[in-house]
Each structure stands twice: as structure tokens, then as C-alpha cells.
Amino acid sequence: MEKFTTLTGIAAHLPMINVDTDMIIPKQYLKTIKRTGLGEGLFAELRYDENGTKDPDFVLHQEPYTKAQILIAGENFGCGSSREHAPWALLDFGFRCIIAPSFADIFYNNCFKNGILPIVLPQNEIDKLIDDAARGDNARLTIDLEAQEISGPDGGKIHFDVDPHRKRCLIEGLDDIGLTMEKAQHIDAYEQKTALARPWA
Amino acid sequence: MAKPRTLYDKIWDEHLVHEAPDGTSLIYIDRHLVHEVTSPQAFEGLRMAGRKVRAPEKTLAVVDHNVPTTDRSKGIDDPDSATQVAALAKNAEDFGIDYYHELDKRQGIVHVVGPEQGFTLPGTTIVCGDSHTSTHGAFGALAHGIGTSEVEHVLATQTLIQQKAKNMLVRVDGKLPHHVTAKDIILAIIGEIGTAGGTGHVIEYAGEAIRDLSMEGRMTVCNMSIEGGARAGLIAPDQKTFDYIMGRPRTPKGAAFEVAKAHWEKLYTDDGAHFDAEVILDAANLPPIVSWGTSPEQVVSVAGRVPNPEDIADETKRKAAVRALDYMGLKGGEKITDIALDRIFIGSCTNGRIEDLRAVAEVVAGKHVNENLNAMIVPGSGLVKLQAEEEGLDKIFTAAGFEWREPGCSMCLAMNPDKLAPGERCASTSNRNFEGRQGRLGRTHLVSPQMAAAAAIAGHFVDIRDMQ
């Protein structure tokens, strides 16, 4: 997993609530057996018409947002299915950070596993960032994960919270499985205990 | 005296392998269900790292999302679907995992198969790379969906890294009116709490109306917990639960069953246990429910009307409603029973079980599907299909003009050939009415099996309570 320390980039605003995982990556893209290449399917049914023609009005087709790395979204972003294709598609497009008033649990968790930082902020703070996003390339945002701060172009700083374990994994690019395997003796002990206490399990 | 605990607290405590000072916990996973869509990258990860599956005997793989529901004995036409199915077969073989392929009579939707095989047991932790894993909570199992990275983590370590969720109680008191079902209960709950209402929580469903439900009905309720934002839903096991699981292929037998049952009987929320949130509904007031929009919280009574956006005070919700109505081809204000339909889909992990099919048969026996629409019934598993055929339900369905298909996820998410054409309007017993869910520009109304059946006959929604 790619480390996440600081990120300076263009923010794109998607002004919708309850953006579900079917919207982020429709089912026709789920038939892949790879993690990469899903960026073209990102928001496909919002971005393209039935014939595959790009909608020029969609934010990610307008400059400079074709190069956006930060997505500012509405409440309950990522609701619906557990498909990790959703963060894979966002990552493949170039997004490394999603900022929203709230996220669906499974999507939120999946982001961290892929080097994407999801940030929860109150709507009034997000409204300021939406103004920055509207200024495009003139208003890049900087996300400093170590300091847990977002800096706007005009010098304002916004603090955000993040779970300390997940923060460490992102900053160091840690592999969860490797970390858990270091606790193998705890898992062995648990299995031995359970074999007696709950043999049916 | 020990602090009173919720059912969730008890299962959590019993599965805690390790807890870090910051609360990050390692939770043991007793059962892992695997399907073809969310697993190939996980197996690839294992191969690249030279890792094995830690407990193949605690893992069960089945194909469901991609399989056609027509004759599949000659293979799968769509090359991408065929590749994904073949990948699961190979991965299961290479890693020593039990696998039900598309021609195995035990094959079906993963959340129908688990309980049917006795793989799902009370008090266990169950995961699957599928958000509707919450279904298994009907047995008092802590069950939730995970992403592919976590699928790989569970395959390699049989554990998950978790933060404990909050406890939410949803109590449904009283008795359901005739023709009002488990599906209407859960749609009403989601309408009440919203699609983010359960975020960060595990929901425990309790109350007389929940206790009165069959196991199939309880699965329908728990299945859609995720549509209310909760990763998991739970119902305390009782005699109905034990009766359902006894004698199934993977259930403990004889004395071992009695030992297990004695343990399972302690799986309930203690008096005085703390819930972070509580919601109480009165079953007697619940009508049959129909979704009108593109989010499962956008629901209304069958006796009601599609809302007018100008009546919605919250600006964000109003904008979402305007977009949803535009997508759904509705103006707002229509009577629900005036909405005509093009397609009927009966099936899915929400409502594809034998009880659902019996309920449909009761409504449609001796009648005929409206000539203006196409209606399809997709059993949740091969065993559900066989049982329905033994009971003669298939004859009732085909005589009434329904298509009787092979088992799978089918048009719930339209990864296989079953999908809506743009603009087609469908009454569906599935779980999501998202834009494009059942096919690009397809329009989905979520309903109970009985309501879908009645609509199939009439050609438009009808209040099932008015039917003779």
C-alpha cells in the first residue's frame, strides 16, 4: 500500500448525498479479477451516456478537475455494497483523499486498506472547502495526516480526527496482514481455548 | 455482579483475540463465506505473498452473482463472468476450500446457502465480501460484510482488525396486520432511521413482532440492516432458531447439538444492558410499503402517494428527492396504486427463500400475470428450487405466466444477463433501488413478495390488504 503522509492537490466537489457504491462503480466493472484499471468506470453512469459519450458538464470532465486528488462529497458517501472496487476506482482515477460529513462504514474502512484517507468534517467546515474547490487550480488544498490538518489556499487550517491505528498504517504504508501475523501466538491460543469451549465453531 | 451486556457485547467478548491499548481489536472469525466477485484479488494477494488459507474448513465458497438463471449446463456466455467463475473454482481447489459450483444443487445465493447448510450457527462470527452478510444475524450470529482486503486478511489469519461498534436497539412491539410482512418491517425501519441511521452501530432487533417472525422473516429483516447503515443486525436465538438449524448438514449432531444449544440459550441481551440508541415501532400500525425513489429510505405506504419535493423541508433531502423522482420518471403526488409496472422480480438474498415463494404462490394461484409485463421468479438456491418443485409451486408459477429460473443473485444487481432495459419499471423483492442497480436507467420499487405478486397480476401496485 502506498504511504499517505501529506497531499497537496486539487479538490473536486460532488454535490450529492447518499452516493452509493453502485454509483461509484457500476456492476459491469465488477467482473474484473484485478485491482487496477477501474478509474475509467468511476461514476460511469454519471459521467457517460448510454453510448459511452462523456458528459462535458460532469465535474471530473472539466479542467482542472480531471486531475483532482481530493473529493469533497455529501453525507453517507459510499453507502451500499462492500465492493472494494469503489476505492480501487477512486484511487485509479487519482483520488487519495475523500472529505464528507459522513461515510458508510464498510466503504470508510475499505479506503484505509488502499491508501486513501477519508476525512469526516462538519458541514460548515466542508462548505469552506467547497468554496476552495470552486476556485480549482487557484486553490489547492494540503492535507497533512501527521498533523491532522487541512490547509486552504488562504492560510486557514482545519483540524480532523482519525483513528490512531489507521493513521499509523497509512503513514507507514503498513500491511495489516503482516501486522496480524505478528500476533500468531494469540490466534493459536484462542483457537486452542475455543476448541474446548465451543467445539461446534 | 457482572455488568449487564447486550447480545453484541457477549459475542464480541467471546471472539476477542487481542486488544491494543487504543481499542483496536483482533476478532476471531468462525465462518467465512466467499463468492466470485469480491475474492479473486484476495486469493491473488495470498499467492503473491506466499500465504495459505489458515482455516479452509471454516471457509465455504459458492458462485452466485454472475451465474445466468437460464440453463447453464453449456457454460456461461459472458466471457468476463465465465473468467470470474472459473477463478473461484481454481482458487477453491488450490487453497482446499469447499466449493459449490453452478451445477451443484446446493449452489445458490451465499446468504441463502449458509443457513441452509447449517454453516450459519448462533453466537458465531461470520464474514463475507458482501454487505448482505448481515442476513446471518437472524441466527444470533455476528455477521457483516467486508471488503476484499479484509477477505484476504481473514483467509490468511482467520481474524479481523476491528473497532467495537455501538449498540442500537430496534424494538417492534405488537402484532403485524394480515399481509404485512418482515420486508415491510425493515423498509419501515429504514424509512424511520434513514440509510445512515445505523452507521457505526450493530442493530439488535427485538419485540413481539420480531419474535413472531419465522427464521426466513428474521433473515429478511437482518439482511437489510446494511440499508439502514448498520454493518450487522442481530436477533437473539430461540427455539425457532434451534428447530431451523437442527439436522442440517453442517450443524452439530446428537449430544454435541445439546451442548451447543445450552451455550446458545445464553445468547440474549441482559436486563439493564446499555444501548446507545433505541427505536421503537408499533407493528399494528405498519402498512405494506413501497419505495418510490432511489434510496431505500425513500419509502411510503402502498395506500399513500409519492411525495411532492416541495413538501420536504430539508434542502439537501429535497434536492435528492427531485433527482430521484426525475430518475424514476415520477412527478410527485401520484397514488402508489396508480403506478404501472413493466417487470416483476421475485428473488434475492432478501426474499428468495421457500417461505417467500409460498407466499407468492398463495397470491397468484389460479390467476395470470398481467399481459403488459414480464415476471420472473428466481429461487435463492438450488435446494429452495427443489423444495418449491416438490411442493408444486413451480407449476402454479408457470401456469400463472411467471418465468421460473435457476438460482442466483440475478436481477437484484444485474451482473448476469437478467437486467432492466432503460426506463423499465420493476417491482422487486430485492434490497436496493439505487440508480442503475437493476440495469442502466432501470427503475426499481422495493416491495414484499406478496406485494410483488399482487402487482404482477394487476399490472400496477395494489394494496394487498384489499385483495380477496
A75-116: per-residue pLDDT in tens?
Answer: 999 999 999 999 999 999 999 999 999 999 999 999 999 999
Q: Is B246 on the interface with A (CB under 8 A)?
A: no
Distance CA B388, CA A97 (A): 49
Instruction: Indicate the pTM of the whole model.
Output: 0.97
Distance from the Cα of residue A136 to its chain's centroid:
20
Query: A79 and B196 in contact by Cβ < 8 A?
Result: yes
- Helix ranges (DSSP H) in B166-264: 182-193, 208-211, 215-223, 239-245, 254-264
Surface of B (308-327) touching A: CB under 8 A = 316-317, 320, 323
Q: Which residue of A has its CA nearest to B58?
A: A201
Q: Is B124 on the interface with A (CB under 8 A)?
A: yes
Residue ranges in chain B modelled with pLDDT below 50: none
Residues 6+ positions from B306 with CB-CB distance below 8 Å: B292, B300, B325, B330, B331, B332, B333, B334, B336, B339
Fill in the DSSP letter of residue A80. S
Is there a contact between B293 and B433 (Cβ–Cβ < 8 Å)?
yes
| Cell numbers placing B299 | 419509502
Q: Supply φ then ψ for residue B28, to 5 degrees.
A: -80, 140
Q: Which of B65, B199, B413 sits opposite A104 (nearest CB)?
A: B199
Q: What is the pLDDT of residues A153-184, one digit of tens each?
A: 888 899 999 999 999 999 999 989 999 999 99
Beta partners for B300? B290
- Which one of B12, B30, B149 would you mutate to disrupt binding with A, by most A Cβ within 10 Å of its Cβ? B149
Q: Is B147 on the interface with A (CB under 8 A)?
A: yes
Please, is B278 exposed, middle or buried when counting C-beta atoms within 10 Å of its C-beta (0-12, 13-18, 19+)? exposed
Query: A104 and B146 in contact by Cβ < 8 A?
Result: no
Q: Which residue of A has its CA nearest to B417?
A: A28
Name the residue among B397, B310, B307, B311 with its Cα closest to residue B347. B397
pLDDT at B272: 97
Q: Which of B49, B80, B145 sits opposite A82 (nearest CB)?
A: B145
Distance CA A120, CA A103 (A): 8
pLDDT at B468: 63
Average pLDDT, chain A: 95
pLDDT at A137: 83
Residue-level length of chain B: 468
Name the residue among B370, B345, B361, B366 with its Cα closest to residue B429. B345
Distance CA B136, CA A188 (A): 26
pLDDT at A153: 86
Q: Is the peptide bond before A64 cis (omega within 30 degrees of 0)?
A: yes
Chains A–B, number of C-beta pairs less than 8 Å apart:
179
- Which one of B161, B223, B248 would you mutate to disrupt binding with A, by most A Cβ within 10 Å of its Cβ? B161
Domain architecture of chain A: domains with CATH: 6-173 (3.20.19.10)
Surface of B (183-222) touching A: CB under 8 A = 195-196, 199-200
Is there a contact between A114 and A93 (Cβ–Cβ < 8 Å)?
no
Chain A nearest-CA distance from B94, in A, is 16
Distance CA A3, CA B286 (A): 50
Strand-strand pairing, B299-301 and A70-72: unpaired
Query: B121 and A187 in contact by Cβ < 8 A?
Result: no
pLDDT at A112: 97
